[in-house]
Amino acid sequence: MSRALIIVDVQNDFCEGGSLAVSGGAATAEAISELLAETDFDAVATTRDWHIDPGNHFAAEGAEPDYVKTWPAHCVARTPGAELHENLETEDIDAEFLKGMYTDGYSGFEGRLGSPDAVPSGKRENMGADDGSAAIAENAPDLDEWLRAEGIDELYVAGIATDHCVRATVLDGLEAGYEVTVLTDLIAGVDETASAEALDEMADAGAQLMDSQDL
Ligand code: VGL
């Protein structure tokens, strides 16, 4: 078995101080960095929300977001809020997948490889045109294509938010035929009840739930 760690949306806007702050986001980033220092994966990928014009994913001007389907503006392409959080150590990250340019983009499997390939490793000045659109090269592989090319069959998923992008990524990973494990101490959710329900749903769909200490 070859295993990949998928780090979902550990971005400034989803951490304390961001426009859609999820409580525990910064601590999650730090804990993921500790895991990366201690554990070998065959591949490590991050996903990032990378919104240009995601339609009604952002609440209309003057309207209150419902924090279920509509949200405050967040992770706008090429803004500081869309950057990975500084507590996340990016040295071991092999590839990064950008999603949600013109859609909600909850699932990492909607993401396509950012350009250049190893974006998180300090080369982010090459992220493309001002509207963010050129950040994804034409013909860039999507997450599934990239994982298959890397020979990965097992996914370990960590990140933000348990009840939204982690959930959607895990369910799509199972659907695509991967063995999927959610690292339950390395996730943070928007809503406590919805996060508990999402974990049940992921487990019912076939995901393993595991503490990273047991890896
Ligand atoms: C997310 C809410 C809105 C997430 C993204 O990354 O889980 N949550 N957009």
Q: Where are the domains of the chain?
A: 3-214
Q: What is the pTM of this model?
A: 0.93
Q: Are 25 and 177 in contact (CB under 8 A)?
A: no
User: Can you tell me which atom of ligand 1 is nearest the CA of 162?
Assistant: 7
Q: Which residues line ligand 1 (CB under 6 A)?
A: 9, 14, 49, 71, 160-161, 164-165
Percentage of the chain exceeding pLDDT 90: 79
Mutate to test the pocket of ligand 1, among 69, 165, 172 (most ligand atoms within 8 A of CB): 165
Q: Residue 35 pLDDT > 60, yes or no?
A: yes
Confidence of residue 209 (pLDDT cuts 50, 70, 90): very high
Residue 83 CA, ligand 1 centroid: distance in Å: 14
Q: Are 90 and 121 in contact (CB under 8 A)?
A: yes
Residue 148 CA, ligand 1 centroid: distance in Å: 25
Cα dist from 16 to 4, 58, 108, 112, 190, whole Å: 27, 19, 22, 27, 12
What is the per-residue pLDDT across 116-165, written as a single tens digit (0 to 9) for each? 433 443 334 434 444 555 567 667 789 999 999 999 999 999 999 999 99
Query: For domain 3-214, is the CATH number 3.40.50.850?
Result: yes
* Predicted local distance difference test score (pLDDT) of residue 134: 52
Question: Which residues are part of the catalytic machinery?
Answer: 9, 99, 165
User: Can you tell me which atom of ligand 1 is nearest the CA of 167?
Assistant: 7
Percentage of the chain exceeding pLDDT 70: 89
Residue 1 CA, ligand 1 centroid: distance in Å: 30
Residue 47 CA, ligand 1 centroid: distance in Å: 11
Q: Please compute the mean of the pLDDT values over residues 60-68 and round it to a whole number.
A: 94
* Predicted local distance difference test score (pLDDT) of residue 77: 87
Return d(Cα 10, Cα 7) in angstroms, integer.
7
What is the per-residue pLDDT across 177-196, written as a single tens digit (0 to 9) for each? 999 999 999 999 999 999 99
Burial 104-116 (b: 16+ CB within 10 A, else e): bbbbbbbbbbbbe
* Predicted local distance difference test score (pLDDT) of residue 123: 38
Return d(Cα 101, Cα 135) in angstroms, integer.
10
Confidence of residue 94 (pLDDT cuts 50, 70, 90): confident
